[in-house]
Structure 1
Amino acid sequence: MPLSNVSQPYAAITLGSNSFNMLVANTVGNKPTVIAKYKRKVRLAEGIGDDGILSEDVILRGLDCLSMFASMLKQHHIATENVAVFATATLRVISNADEFHRRALPILQHEIEVISGLREAELIYQGMVATTQGDGRRLVIDIGGASTEFIIGDGCNVLFKTSVPMGCVLFNQRFFTQYPLQHVDFTQAIEYVGTMLAEYREQLLTLGWQNVLGASGAVQSVVSVLQHRQCAEIITVDILNSFRDDILSQQDASLSGITGLTAEQAPTFAAGVAILIALFECLSIESLYLAGGALREGVLQLLADRIANA
């Protein structure tokens, strides 16, 4: 392919409440082509105190990851104007966000843009459309560390979007604090999801959908365990209830007896399974598939379009 058809490299960085991600890409044939991926489970939402202040040790954890990203930006020779840095729920709500921004700027050499939950939902949907085959009306669910986005769309058109302040890291702090876990932990978590979703449930069900896609670490963890066990990668409520039973049989937070679950996935696995069970029950979902991409891919597409039109 002629060199003129390949763009300069660019990077989409997303600072989530559970994971920080960076995608490096070139545009080839008008489409972003990822050439490198970097990810770290920073679990930013773990550090939110009752006073709304993000703790120093978690700030340092985040800044350390940004230092790694900065070195990768240099390694890939990415110009500052070809970088987008978007942050989500935790940096939306903490009272010392300005301090995090101030300390991050000299490391990344780039401003962090904190996006609203609705903007996040839009970008999640765009990332799904750019990476996932299929058509018809689709419900996309992205369970993050501190927020969960729900989007119904038809093709490229978004018909409904919302962001609900619940997620795996927050659920760990609220419901899954003491191992071995008990049935009541799941029951309380599931009831809480129903309460949080109550005001949107009727609108979601009225719009309806043909397929449900999950675009989150929670869904990725379930699918990766199914892959490891050489099972079909379709999530059903029976599979989720089976995972709940597996979790309840474990004696400690490592969940080391669950075949196919990695040490990185274990800390938020119970919370993710609980939220998914609740959503299957509340929204009468029959099956759920893993989307090809979500927020980071949406930001990447946004950046690619911005560079192409510059």
Structure 2
Amino acid sequence: MPKTPLYAAITLGSNSFNMLVAKTLGGRPHIIAKYKRKVRLADGILYNGSLSEEVLLRGLDCLFMFSHMLKKHAIPADKITIIATATLRNITNADDFCQRAIPILGYPIEIISGMREAELIYQGMVATTSGIGRRLVIDIGGASTEFIIGDGDTVLLKNSLAIGCVTFNHKFFASFPFKQLNFDDANSEVRSVLGDHLGALKQLGWHSVVGASGSVQSVAEILDNRKLPGTITLDVLKQLKQEVLSQSSASMLDILGISEERAPTFAAGLSILLALFDLLEIDSLHLSGGALREGVLVMLSKR
């Protein structure tokens, strides 16, 4: 009986670089291994729009690790897909990064549009998250947030906007202690960026909301650590905001249940979530089982 071939999906986000190794079983991707590193690429965007050499090297170092894992799993080049998102879409030296990555990975990086990213996020959500009816999916990344409304496999609306936990961290939460004004300013920015998109989202409507991002994951992990229900509500977010405002250290590590990995951008991600709950009048939100990287796996499994 022939051996089921392995394939790999690598996603280079503005906050995290991820790699999933999988094989197809019963027509669906079955994950064999996961690798992840908080590269925080968006941290390194300079005033001239280029990525700093220090952060660029941080990204390439992660790709060296991924390359080692590709060799370890013996994945052929034609079974690898490498997708890059917002930061590499926007920086002026993206070509330099991609050219320097090719000798490391042996395979080119595809920088996808925000709309394509939204489609893949939705596919990843549908493949991993049970539910029926029209759903609003929100994926808060490091430098962009994708909004998708869909029903079953059908995407009805999609948007990718310049709202991100790493960029908001620089803009609104760069100095400690954090104050209510920081959250107010973040809310105003989200309102401004949403603009006319807000009306289109609300006009189409939804039955439930799914969050697919590290910002949502961090809140879900806190609730799980505290043995609380996993449903994210406005009351939950307001309570966490009060805990952020009462911190004695910028590390945020006194917040019960927060992970050291997610703490640096927690306040910024929380501010975006609070703004979206307010502006979109969201009652509750549940964590998605998957997003972009799972969507890429679904795409690969169909090839």
Under a length normalisation based on structure 1, what TM-score does the superposition of the two structures give? 0.97
User: Using the alignment, how far apart are the partners of 1:100 and 1:289 within structure 2?
Assistant: 35
3-state DSSP of counterpart to 2:210: strand
Residue 249 of structure 1 corresponds to 246
Indicate yes or no: 2:233 matched with 1:263: no
Inter-partner Cα distance in structure 1 for 2:26 and 2:144: 35
Match in the other structure for 1:48: 45
Q: Is the 8 A contact 1:179 1:251 kept in 2?
A: no
Q: Which residue of 2 aligns with 1:77?
A: 74
- Partner amino acid, structure 2, of 1:271: A
> Structure 2: how far apart are the matches of 1:232 and 1:184?
30
Superposition deviation, residue 158 in structure 1: 0.3
Residues 64-121 of structure 1, C-alpha deviation per residue, up to 9 Å, x if partnerless? 0000000000000100100000000000000001110111110011100000000000
What is the alpha-carbon distance in structure 1 between the residues aligned to residue 267 and residue 182 of structure 2? 10
The equivalent of 2:296 in structure 1 is 299
**Partner residue, 2:27:** 30
Equivalent residue letter for 1:41:
K
Query: Structure 2: which amino acid aligns with 1:65?
Result: C
2:277 matched residue in structure 1: 280
Opposite residue 230 of structure 1, the aligned amino acid is K
Matched with 2:229 is 232
> Any gaps of 5 or more consecutive residues in structure 2?
none
Give the AA of the match of 1:243. L
Cα distance, 1:304 vs structure 2: 1.1
Residues 1-310 of structure 1 correspond to what in structure 2 (within 5 A)? 3-4=1-2, 7-306=4-303
Q: CA deviation at 1:251?
A: 2.2
Q: Distance in 1 between matches of 2:58 and 2:239?
A: 34
Alpha-carbon distance between aligned partners in 2 of 1:166 and 1:281, rounded to the nearest angstrom: 15
AA of the residue aligned to 1:144: G
Q: Using the alignment, how far apart are the partners of 1:266 and 1:197 within structure 2?
A: 26
Per-residue CA distance 1:22-55 (angstroms, 9 max, x = gap): 0000111111100100010000000001100100
Q: Secondary structure of 1:246's match?
A: helix
**Partners of 2:118 and 2:259 in 1: CA distance:** 28
The runs of at least 4 consecutive aligned structure 1 residues that moved more than 2 Å come to: none
- The superposition leaves residues 220-265 of structure 1 with CA deviations (integer Å, 9 ceiling, x where unpaired) of 0000010000000000011001000000111222112101101101
Contact 1:140–1:152 at 8 Å: present in 2 too? yes
Identity percentage of aligned residues: 59
Alignment deviations for residues 117-139 of structure 1 (CA, whole Å, 9 cap, x no partner):
00000000000011111110000
In the comparison of the two structures, how many residue pairs are matched?
303
Report the secondary structure of 2:232's partner residue: coil
1:199 positional shift: 1.3
- Length-normalised TM-score, structure 2: 0.99
- Root-mean-square deviation (CA, aligned residues, Å) is 0.8
SS in 1 for 2:299: helix
